[in-house]
Structures are given as structure tokens and as C-alpha cells.
Amino acid sequence: MTEHSLWRFSRALHRAINDRHFEDIEALIDEDVEWAIYGPIDMFPFLGARQGKRAVLDVIRQLADNFRVRRFERESIMLGVDSASSMLRYSLTALDSDKPISLRVAQFAQFRADRLINMRVLVDTFDLVEQALGRAIHLPKMTSVG
């Protein structure tokens, strides 16, 4: 049995972010990849949708310019032949402030011939924005009329 594409991609992504070693990740991304990280684009411009290998590599470089991965846990994972879905908890360090950031993400990946062809990531954005602002966000109390 061969290693699942997700494991190779995950290792290469973390090496790219932490060590700025982009060659391995570049080899694992399809030229026509579709990529989206859903989150507050106004606060984090590297979030959002991208098309094509160059655009995705630019996002990965921006992540490497801004964060270091301290650790991550896979809370749950489902592997298909050419797909993977997982819930992850990341502990990051913001490089500009040395501030710790923790976040949860849901990740959905598709591969073809061991290359990433589609990535969708949903970020727990409320918690992320509170950490980025350095304060709690107080929302109005919701009541039901009955």
C-alpha cells in the first residue's frame, strides 16, 4: 500500500511554511489547482479563492511570511482514494508580534496522480478575529419573541 497523497502534501506544506522550503510543495500541486480558504479576507488578504499553481504558491509564501506552525492535531480525518477531509486544530505563532494563535479548520482536498487539484478550507473565523484583534467581540443578545 502506498502513502496517501494527503500525508505527503501535509508534510510539504508545513516545511514550506516553517522552513520556507517550497520545492516539495510545488511538485505536489497541479497546474490548474483550485484553492479557497474561507475567512475574513479584509483582515487576512491571503485568504479567499485562487486558481492555478502560481497563485496557490503565492498564498503559501504569504502564510510563511506571517506564521509559524507550532503544532497541529488532526481531530478527525476521512480518506478516500483521491480525496481527504479533516478537522484540524492548529497552534500558530504570528511572526510580526510573536503572538500565539490557535484555530480550528475543516479541510477538504482532492488529488489526481498524487497532485492537489482542489482544496477548500473553512476557518473558525470568529475565534480567529478575536485573537487577531486581541479582544473579545461582544455581540448583542439574541432573544426570541414568543
pLDDT the model gives residue 37? 96
The crossing angle, in degrees rounded to 10, of helices 53-66 and 5-19 is 50
Q: Starting from the edge strand earliest in sequence, which strands make up the sheet with 29-38, in order?
A: 48-51, 29-38, 115-123, 99-112, 83-94, 67-79
113 torsion bin: left (phi>0), alpha (psi -120 to 50), beta (else): left
pLDDT score of 17: 96
What mean pLDDT is predicted for residues 45-72?
96
Checking if the pLDDT of 8 tops 70, the result is: yes
Task: State the pLDDT at residue 75.
Answer: 95
Is the pLDDT score of 139 beyond 80? no
- Please say if the pLDDT value at position 146 is more than 70: no
What pLDDT score was predicted for residue 144? 64
- pTM here is 0.85
Write 102-106 long-range contacts (CB < 8 A, 24+): 102/127, 102/131, 103/127, 103/128, 103/131, 104/75
- 72 vs 143, higher pLDDT: 72
pLDDT for the residue 1: 54
pLDDT at 124: 83
Of the two residues 143 and 26, the one the predictor is more confident about is: 26
